[in-house]
Every structure is written in C-alpha cells, then in structure tokens.
Copies of this chain bind each other. A is one copy, B any other.
Amino acid sequence: MARRPTIRDVAREAGVSTVTVSRVANDPGLVKAPTRERVEAAMRRLGYTPNAAAQSMRTNVSRTIGFLVPDLTNYPNAAVAKAAEATLAEAGYYMLLTDSDHDPAREARFLRLLRSRRVDGMILYLSDEDDPALQATIGELDIPVVVLDRDLPLPLDTVFSEHRDAMRRTVAHLAALGHRELGLLMPELRIRPVRERARAFAEAVRAAGLDPDRQVVAYARPGTGGPDAVRRLLSARVRPSALLIDGNRLLAATFEGLRELNLAAQVTPIAIDVVEPLAAAMPEIVGIARDFAAIGRQAAQLMIDRLSGALTGPPQRITLASRAVMAERAGARATAGASVPAGR
C-alpha cells in the first residue's frame, strides 16, 4: 500500500504550486485553461483523490449528515433513510447511517461518535423520547438537528406524522360497520406515534359511542414480545372483532396468534404502517398508511436549508398526513365478524 498521492504530488507532477491544484479542484474558474488541463492530467495520472479528513479539518465542514435509526430492517426506517439519502446526495451531502437497535445506550454512543466525526448535522429517529441523558446530549449539540416524529422538550426542527385523524377515521369506520369491540396492538415504546395513536384510539372510541370498557389495548415488548402480547390480547376478558396492529412485525405475530388460537374467522386485522411487500401480497389488509419517502425528503430538505442558511430562526415543526386506507376503500371487506380474507 503505497502512500496516497497528495495535493503536493500533483503540484510537482504538473509543475505548479499546491494552491493551483487546490483551485482546480474547488473553483476551476480561477485557473487558466492550459494550466488547469495540465493539473487535471496530473490528477488522473496519479489517481489523486482529495483527503476528506484534511479538507474537513481545514474548513470545519464535512458535508456529512448523521442519520440514526432504531432498526434498519424495519421498512419504514429504511424507506425514510433512503429518501433522505437521495435528497441529501443531490445537494452534495453524504449520509452516515447508524442503527441503534432500539438501545438508548447505543444511541447515546452514536451521538458522541457522530459528534466526534464532526458531522454537519444529524437526523434522529429516537427510540425513547423520555430518556433525560439522551435529551441532555442532544441539547448540547451545536449543529442542526432534525428530529423525526418525537416530542422532545427541546427547540428542534421536527418532522411529525399526523396519526390521530387517520386513527379516528378508521375507528369510526369500523364502528359504522358494526364492530363493537376493538383491539389495538402496539410496541411498548415511549415514543410519540404510540402515544398519539393510543390517545386518538380512546377518543375515537368515545366519539363512536363504543363502550370504553370493551376495548382492549396491548403493548408488545420490543424484540420478541409480539406473540406474547397477541396471546394476551386474544385471551382478554373481551375479545375484539377487529384488531388494529402497529407495524409489520406485530402484524405477522398476529397472524401466527390467530392461527394458533384458531380465531382467524372471528378477528379482522387492520394494519398500521404496513408496508409494500406485505401490503401487495395481502391487499385485503387495510389500515393506516404513511408516505415514508416524503418524510425522509422533508427531513433532508429541512437539514439542507438549515445548513445553507436558507432557513433561519425558530425551529420548524412540520406535520405530514397519514392516510386511512380502509375508509378510502369503502370498507367493503372488513365487516363485523367477517373472516380474515384469504390470501387472494
């Protein structure tokens, strides 16, 4: 592994000073064409690549944005990250993506790491919005931060999703179809989407005139808690005829549970944030959907605007809508007591 060529090697090779090489790389207009061409040829000949570490040290800018997600294999996370990456790349920024595996300790560690990497900004999907240590760490950051769908007591740019309206419409729709007992299954996480949905569920139940005592809410421990929560929910005092389920994994666990307890015919699953492959495979599964790419683009744009100075002033709080797919489809399928439709 020979030493990599530096700006000095190129300068020597082209018979110019390092300054001229630097100009060719950064502001070619400042260099006369013949000189420029000589330098460019030398760069190619030597296989020169600017050393980003040295650039970043000199300019205090890394053109890198850190992006923290709780779980890369969770489709919504990946979709948001992917869209953000594309938007950032267009603007000349790179993304440093890390996976906290839902572990606040790893989360804090990554924040420190990203900080020492001198990223220019961070986009954060936190897995616990109540952790004071984490909040303190975030509060100390002196770079732009964009938070995704979390309520933090900090003045930060945030991209929210609107969860309540779609939840209300879905519950109202189910009630109109004759369902009197509903279930709601969510991950046991201290984060805004879960809280918003729980609140909206309770409100919608009341608004629809359903008996609050006959609605069941269960929380699954992250990781392997799904099947457990499903069993609890399906063996409760009241058995719901329709079940709202948050996320692909819990939906899968629900299917297993329904099979296991032989309740497939009695319970209609309604999906929240269920995503492409599964949704296409099972179109009869309806529920609440979000445009993850739009969320990613919005977060990236906010970051770009902060960094470019196009956006100044107080934190922006942007809210993007959710869709109640079920209501849109006129609810032909999810009639009370109906069996879960078959695979096609």
Hey, which bits of chain A sit against chain B, CB under 8 A?
1-2, 4, 47, 49-54, 56-57, 62, 71-73, 75, 78-79, 81-82, 85-86, 89, 94-99, 101, 106, 112-113, 115-118, 140, 142-143, 248-249, 251-253, 255-256, 258-259, 264, 276-284, 340-344
Contact status A344-B264, CB under 8 Å: yes
Beyond A78-B73, A255-B343, A343-B343, whether A248 also contacts B277 by CB under 8 A is yes
Contact status B117-A52, CB under 8 Å: yes
CB closest chain-B residue, reference A95: B98
Complexed CA–CA distance, A242 and B158 (Å): 49
- Cβ distance A89 to chain B, nearest Cβ, rounded Å: 8
Pick the contact of A343 from B53, B96, B99, B342 — CB < 8 Å?
B342
CB closest chain-B residue, reference A227: B280
Pick the contact of A57 from B54, B75, B85, B99 — CB < 8 Å?
B54
Contact status B282-A281, CB under 8 Å: yes
Beyond A78-B72, A277-B252, whether A50 also contacts B116 by CB under 8 A is yes
Pick the contact of A282 from B75, B143, B249, B343 — CB < 8 Å?
B343
Closest 6 A-B residue pairs measured CB to CB? Answer: A342-B342, A252-B280, A248-B277, A53-B56, A97-B97, A264-B344
Pick the contact of A51 from B57, B98, B258 — CB < 8 Å?
B57
- Cβ distance A55 to chain B, nearest Cβ, rounded Å: 8
Beyond A51-B116, A82-B73, whether A142 also contacts B4 by CB under 8 A is yes
CB closest chain-B residue, reference A341: B343
Contacting residues, chain B, for A118 (C-beta < 8 A)? 51-53
Contact status B344-A255, CB under 8 Å: yes
Complexed CA–CA distance, A201 and B54 (Å): 52
Complexed CA–CA distance, A81 and B78 (Å): 11
CB closest chain-B residue, reference A342: B342
Complexed CA–CA distance, A343 and B54 (Å): 57
Contact status A62-B53, CB under 8 Å: yes
Contacting residues, chain B, for A81 (C-beta < 8 A)? 72
Contacting residues, chain B, for A106 (C-beta < 8 A)? 89
Contact status A277-B264, CB under 8 Å: no
Contacting residues, chain B, for A279 (C-beta < 8 A)? 252
Contact status A281-B264, CB under 8 Å: no
Q: What are 8 of the A-B contact pairs (CB < 8 Å)?
A: A51-B118, A53-B62, A57-B57, A78-B78, A251-B281, A252-B281, A259-B344, A278-B278
Complexed CA–CA distance, A79 and B117 (Å): 25
- Cβ distance A130 to chain B, nearest Cβ, rounded Å: 23
- Cβ distance A148 to chain B, nearest Cβ, rounded Å: 16
- Cβ distance A229 to chain B, nearest Cβ, rounded Å: 15
Contact status B49-A57, CB under 8 Å: no
Beyond A57-B54, A280-B252, A281-B278, whether A72 also contacts B82 by CB under 8 A is yes
Contact status A344-B73, CB under 8 Å: no
Complexed CA–CA distance, A62 and B343 (Å): 50
Beyond A4-B142, A259-B344, whether A73 also contacts B73 by CB under 8 A is no
Complexed CA–CA distance, A63 and B98 (Å): 14
